[in-house]
Amino acid sequence: MSGPQDSAASEARDSGSAVRSDTDSSPAADDAANGQAEPDGAPGGAAASSEDQGSGSADGPGGPPTGRRRKRKQRSFWRELPILVAIALLFAVLIKTFAIQAFYIPSGSMENTLEINDRVLVNKMIYHIRDIHRGDIVVFNGDGSWDPGTVPVAGNIFQQFGQGFASMFGFGHPGDILIKRVIGIPGDRVACCDAQGRVTVNGVPLNEGTYLYPGSAPSLSRFNIVVPPGRLWVMGDNRYYSADSRDHMGDPGGGTIPESAVVGRAFVIIWPASRWRFLPIPATFEQPALNGSHAAASSGAAVAAGNDLVSARAEPTGQTVPLVLGFAGAVPLTWLQRRVRTRIARRRRRGPKV
């Protein structure tokens, strides 16, 4: 006839070593906890043996084998890599098309502000936020701006994205990209020269010594023009060596370029490292009198410039900058979505809380 003590001992053997207590226990319970069960294959011994085998091959209680986990991580990495590359490429196209693009300078007509082989970053978004200002260094498409032809039109965002995507792989026509400084905006009367040989805007002389090439005169040719609506008067900083608005006064627009042809504003030199600096608007363009009045429409004669002048061109660089920026944005985004998916998977494995 079995008593309560016999029943308790039977329950202890059935539970095996999976249940342990931090308090004192009987010798029989200790033997069961150490896996020393009866030799006839009692349930307690079988449970202990099974647990020992599982704990030797797992990273933790109930975890998968280490080798299997490593393989799973490797497979997960290769599965994530195409997603990372696709997101980075998408970001690169978006950044290059709508935000920032790098250009290098192949000529000396903007010296010493920009020297040959300088690399500059161009902000393509700024003129969606504010108007073009006097003194800005702008990159623009010369196709149709001065030479006879159709004035370039940016198109809608889908067309721009398609053009940007094609250019990432060397397709499409980038156009005749030029870089100059804005001297006159719509409605300004730009003239040269006053009694001191200075360029004037709305009758206010510009003190250009801070950015003109050393020893360069503001202009050797004389002009007097009112900038038409929607157009800009632009000039290079190396006036002896720059073919700019002064040399296209016989073209449609009287030498001005359309605002729609502007790609963006050059705002920083990024290479070489010794030349790194921002490109602010010179103080002379901050004179309040420049906005005091706009002259009435009239024009003066212009003196033809020499044949040795060149336009200040800006050539697009390779895809390094947009790709680097694309990966910089794609890596944290990919890491975040992977972290979210991992947490969701862990919650599913744990099941609902009781």
Catalytic residue numbers read 109, 180
DSSP 128-196: GTS---TT-EEEEE-TTTTSSSPPP----HHHHHHHHHHHHTT-S----EEEEEEEE-TT-EEEE--TT
Give the helix/strand (H/E) hosting 55: helix 43-57
Structure tokens at 336: 């975040």
d(CA 327, CA 112): 34
Q: How many CA atoms lie within 13 A of 214 on its CB side?
A: 1
E-state strands within the chain: 100-104, 119-123, 137-141, 177-184, 189-192, 200-201, 204-205, 223-226, 231-235, 257-258, 262-271, 277-278, 315-316
Q: Is 42 exposed, middle or buried (0-12, 13-18, 19+ CB in 10 A)?
A: middle
Q: Could you give the CA distance from residue 171 to residue 319 in angstroms, rounded to a whole number?
A: 13
Q: What's the CA gap between 188 and 178, in Å, rounded?
A: 22
Q: What CA–CA distance (Å, rounded) separates 55 from 62?
A: 8
Residue-level length of the chain: 354
Q: Which tokens in the block code for residue 65? A: 């084998």
What's the token pair of residue 173? Answer: 């026509």
